[in-house]
Amino acid sequence: MPAVTVENPLTLPRVTVQNDAVARPVLAVTTAPSGFEGEGFPVRRAFAGINYRHLDPFIMMDQMGEVEYAPGEPKGTPWHPHRGFETVTYIIDGVFDHRDSNGGGGTITNGDTQWMTAGAGLLHIEAPPEHLVVSGGLFHGLQLWVNLPAKDKMMAPRYQDIRGGSVQLLTSQDGGALLRVIAGELDGHQGPGITHTPITMIHATLAPGAEVTLPWREDFNGLAYVMAGKGAVGAERRPVHVGQTAVFGTGSSLTVRADEQQDSNTPDLEVVLLGGRPIREPMAHYGPFVMNTREELQQAFEDFQKGRLGTIPAVHGMSEGGL
């Protein structure tokens, strides 16, 4: 970890912060509980315990792994429906195949991201390819759910395959931090992900002892999730470690710092930084559906049960008509 890197970060564009930038304070640091998803792969629930007013427009995020599978162990999800939001799947190590009932999907691997706009609804499956099931191997990634505003919830589904080599690479002033802009904008540099809800998603790697302060849109919220290592966040240097999420308050910049000493198996601090413009609409969320009202949720379940979200393609060797 991670797959997308450079030998000398100082060859990259450097991020600058205005002298009058207002530092965002740290409102809270939470620790993600562990659980299992799909057919049994381990996850950390990154946003558990955080009030939704600090998350909006984000709904949930799971860190999948990091796990070293033995032969026969790799797992995915069964066919399942989605409606009303977007899933962002970022694979740091390993391989995942995605398919849907509209014929979309593909394979993502080290450093790739798949952005699926579920919109009006579809059936979807995520699974390791057969060769990985046979061989086993390292698997590590993230899945983020991004809400859609009411006007876009019933739009046509869409896929974006964002290859690791297409992300925007930046660095801090001293080269101690490598910043991968997956979506949104940072200091005038645009990531490749096309978003309906304005957001920024960055994977930052900080060398031991490195510190980076980033300009941050004042109309966005601010979150930092630690995938590996230990460090501190905010001007007040609030300690954080793997599996923890920092919630930032208002301001125009945010700061992350890596501890001088890291664990031998985690040489750097690995952090996902998220910001988004809050939608500020009522949210009704249950299982795989995220709508605005309870009635819309009930309609989504009815549409799924009646096959209106699609059928499982026969090419996958499974019966058509649902789960």
Q: Is residue 319 pLDDT above 90, yes or no?
A: no
| Confidence at residue 39, expressed as pLDDT on a 0 to 100 scale | 66
Residue 81 covered by a domain: yes
- pLDDT one-digit tens code per residue, 188-211: 999 999 888 999 999 999 999 999
189 is known to lie in a ligand binding site? no
For 39, the 3-state DSSP assignment is coil
| Confidence at residue 321, expressed as pLDDT on a 0 to 100 scale | 36
Residue 320 covered by a domain: no
Split at pLDDT 50, 70, 90, the class of 2 is low
Residue 313 covered by a domain: no
The DSSP secondary structure of 87-150, one letter per residue, reads EEEEEEES-EEEEETTS-EEEE-TT-EEEEE-TT-EEEEEE--HHHHHH-EEEEEEEEEEE--G
| Confidence at residue 226, expressed as pLDDT on a 0 to 100 scale | 98
Which domain, by its residues, includes 107? 9-306
| Confidence at residue 68, expressed as pLDDT on a 0 to 100 scale | 86
Split at pLDDT 50, 70, 90, the class of 322 is very low
| Single-letter amino acid, residue 166 | S
Contact between residue 130 and residue 137 where contact means Cβ atoms under 8 Å apart:
no
In this structure, what token pair is assigned to residue 68?
A: 């070293």
- pLDDT one-digit tens code per residue, 135-162: 888 889 999 999 999 999 999 999 888 9
80 is known to lie in a ligand binding site? yes
Q: Is residue 238 pLDDT above 90, yes or no?
A: yes
Query: What pairing do the DSSP bridges indicate for beta strands 199-206 and 269-276?
Result: antiparallel
| Confidence at residue 225, expressed as pLDDT on a 0 to 100 scale | 98
124 is known to lie in a ligand binding site? yes
| Confidence at residue 7, expressed as pLDDT on a 0 to 100 scale | 87
Q: Which residues contact 167 (CB under 8 A, 6 or more apart)?
A: 4, 111, 113, 180, 181, 182, 191, 192
Residue 91 covered by a domain: yes
pTM: 0.92
Tally of domains within the chain: 1
Residue 213 covered by a domain: yes
Among 31-35, 79-83, 128-132, 207-211, the range scoring the smallest mean pLDDT is 128-132
Question: Greater confidence, 271 or 265?
Answer: 271
Residue 181 covered by a domain: yes
Residue 156 covered by a domain: yes
Bridge partner residues of 222 (DSSP): 248
Q: Residue 294 phi/psi, 5° resolution?
A: -65, -35
Widest CA span in the chain: 61
**CA separation for the pair 45, 170 (Å, rounded):** 28
Question: Greater confidence, 171 or 68?
Answer: 171
Tell me, what CATH number does 61's domain have? 2.60.120.10
Share of the chain above pLDDT 90, in %: 73
Residue 312 covered by a domain: no
